[in-house]
Structure 1
């Protein structure tokens, strides 16, 4: 399980923004708690790591039901691809579910369904990626294999930083978003506090 907490916008760290009186990262950690043995939280630098450790200690203390590792990007400012490869290095399992820190509505149903999808299809596919009817995909709500680390290194060495470039190189099982989460709320992201206020009204 890989949960990235590296998104920022408008000068504010998204994972720290409050949703239902808790930082968004706490909402996500609580959702995955009963569905993962390990979680790797990939952050930008030591400063952000210390902030997140304080947040987790305040809201969760010793209550987490999984092994949590908090690590920093191996290379700064290289986008989500470097976050994925950093996280994969610390995950013991063959696959990792990548989740963004700005989607606090990620549901247990989504997590269960996407894990079930890779279990049922892993003989033929090494990646599960949610897809909308429009053709748009959700690369940061997807499962990636350990073996994709070498592909990521190759992409980065060629100046490619987008996750879609990685997906093109993998044997992907594209699954409709509504099959993973009928409400589709797991894919809702928030960019600033005003977005949250508007949603909760």
Structure 2
């Protein structure tokens, strides 16, 4: 298995219940919504993988050349931690930039910003943005050394991302102070959210 320095993980395993259909494929600015985060990862990492539900894999695969996988059967449907675990097991890298499929305003510059942190603070295992009073663990970068903790949390059925941040050496970063607008981190959970973004 080839080892990479930076790999990208695009999380697209949610059920999109509030959206009413798989939101990853819903058009925004003439592209499927997932493409914005995916292209940002692809431009700034050596290898990118999409983690999604098994029934969506063929649809993703018809649009991109990279690997599309579903959760490890042990942790099927267990949320973002399961997706990150699955990608880390599948893809060997030192650092993993994680983005969700429903953050269409995210850009390549933000991915580069996360990567830059890994050169300045060697003892940290992850760098997590803090925006408008909230941590953004699904738009962050994680070291491979987080994998044992992720597996242990999944085995213990502790599925919240915050549980991981409390266990590993986490560095909170503040992208707004570096010129990144808070809108970059807007998640699209409903079609109304998308309408608000377009207006």
Q: TM-score range by the shorter chain?
A: 0.7 to 0.9
Where in structure 2 are there 5+ consecutive unaligned residues?
Answer: 1-7
Q: Secondary structure at the match of 2:56?
A: helix
Q: Measured at CA, do residues 27 and 91 of structure 1 come closer, stay the same or move farther in structure 2, by a change above 3 Å?
A: same
Return the structure number with greater strand share: 2
1:96 equivalenced with 2:96 (yes/no): yes
1:70 and 1:16 mapped to 2: Cα distance? 14
When structure 1 is superposed on structure 2, of 25-34 and 107-116 the one drifting more is: 25-34
Where in structure 1 are there 5+ consecutive unaligned residues?
Answer: 63-67
Q: Measured at CA, do residues 195 and 2 of structure 1 come closer, stay the same or move farther in structure 2, by a change above 3 Å?
A: same
Taking structure 1 as the reference length, the TM-score comes to 0.86
Match of 2:172 in 1: 174
Match of 1:127 in 2: 126
Match of 2:60 in 1: 52
**Offset of residue 181 of structure 1:** 5.2
Q: How does 1:71-86 map to 2 (within 5 A)?
A: 71-74=69-72, 75-86=75-86
Can you list the C-alpha shifts for 1:65-89, whole angstroms capped at 9, x where unaligned? xxx2211101322111100100111
1:77 and 1:14 mapped to 2: Cα distance? 17
Match of 1:32 in 2: 41
> Contact 1:41/1:70 (CA < 8 Å) preserved in 2?
yes
- Which of structure 1's runs of 4+ aligned residues deviate more than 4 A? none
Q: How does 1:98-113 map to 2 (within 5 A)?
A: 98-113=98-113
**Offset of residue 94 of structure 1:** 0.7
Aligned length: 188
> Contact 2:41/2:97 (CA < 8 Å) preserved in 1?
no
1:183 equivalenced with 2:173 (yes/no): no
Q: Measured at CA, do residues 180 and 98 of structure 1 come closer, stay the same or move farther in structure 2, by a change above 3 Å?
A: farther
1:180 and 1:5 mapped to 2: Cα distance? 28
Taking structure 2 as the reference length, the TM-score comes to 0.87
1:92 and 1:77 mapped to 2: Cα distance? 22
2:17 and 2:96 mapped to 1: Cα distance? 25
1:51 and 1:93 mapped to 2: Cα distance? 26
